[in-house]
Amino acid sequence: MDLHKCWKITWSIVSFIIFLSFLEQSKAYDHASLEAFVRDKANQEISKPRTGTLYNIPLPSNFSGMKFSILRVRSDSLRLRGASYSHFNLPPSIKPDPEVKRMAIVFENFGNWSSRYYHVPNHTIVAPVLGLMAYNTSATALVLSKRLNLSMPEENPIKVRFFRSWVRVEKEEKPICAKLGNGGRLIGLKNMSKPFVCETESEGHYTLVVPSLEEAKNRDKRQRHNNRTRWIVVLGIGSGFIVLLFVVFVLVGVKVVKRRKMEKMEEKAEKGETIGEFWVGQSKMPSASMVRTQPALEN
């Protein structure tokens, strides 16, 4: 075997190992796979669940730091009375879509795994990602794979509460709420309704974020650029106004000088020989009478 073939085989093996490593990493941090695993774990570990009782879902040691819990609840009961479980305050009037008699609500706390499963562009996650997911349930399984949507009036939203001790921010930093979607993508940002409290009108995943250092630098740069542009516009308008005033003053000055010259000419005419006047267009011009020199005979 020559050196070229040996190099190709070695490179193929290395590439395959890198691909497997990347595939394994993507599986490890895939939220959909984690949710499916948690549902299966809940059905396996929690037998004969009681409606209205909150159960913690046991997770393997390699998921240390995460916390998942599940609650089976009657839809009518939740609609009439609401509920307060985990870090979520569920108001009355919540309706599942599609309509079901019972549903299973999964409360998720990603803990120190939050930044591995979720990413907010140009922002830093400063609190655990908390999730609220609703699923269909049955007599034989605590939680099914069919996901339900939750809807409620805008004036009475769900409240998501974060412990102050969770939030890692500097004194001058003010966190904002971030709603996250499938695949860890950002759905939207919103100010906190109260300190460390976010409000929402639907199920989903939520956390607190602050602008990253790079984003803060870019924001300051944009602010400086806007201020510079604003000053350029102000100076341009001011300079144009000054130039306009200067032109007006020059025109007025020229007109005044011409008028004074005409007045002096008229004054001289009145003191000396009478000078006639004639019109050229709309202008009055001075005119002297023509006198011919009388001829004289020479001796």
DSSP for 113-156, please give it. Answer: GHHHH---TTEEE-S--EEEEEEE--SS-S--S-EEEEE--TTS
- In whole angstroms, give the CA distance from residue 147 to residue 171: 40
pLDDT in tens, 206-263: 999 999 875 555 555 556 666 677 677 777 777 776 877 777 777 777 777 777 777 7
Q: What is the pLDDT of residue 161?
A: 94
**Range 3-211 classified under CATH 2.60.220:** yes
The predicted model gives 50-79 an average pLDDT of: 92
User: How many CB atoms are located within 10 Å of the residue 87 CB?
Assistant: 18
User: pLDDT exceeding 70 applies to what percent of the chain?
Assistant: 74
Whether 105 shows a pLDDT value over 60: the answer reads: yes
Average pLDDT over residues 190-202: 92
pTM of the model: 0.62
Q: What is the pLDDT of residues 264-299, one digit of tens each?
A: 776 766 665 555 565 666 666 666 555 556 666 665
Report the mean per-residue pLDDT for the chain.
Answer: 80
Per-domain residue ranges for the chain? Answer: 3-211, 213-251
pLDDT digits (tens, 9 = 90+) for 2-40: 545 555 555 555 454 444 444 444 444 788 889 999 999
CA–CA dist 142, 166 (Å, integer):
31
Q: Could you identify the residue written with the tokens 């695949």?
A: 183
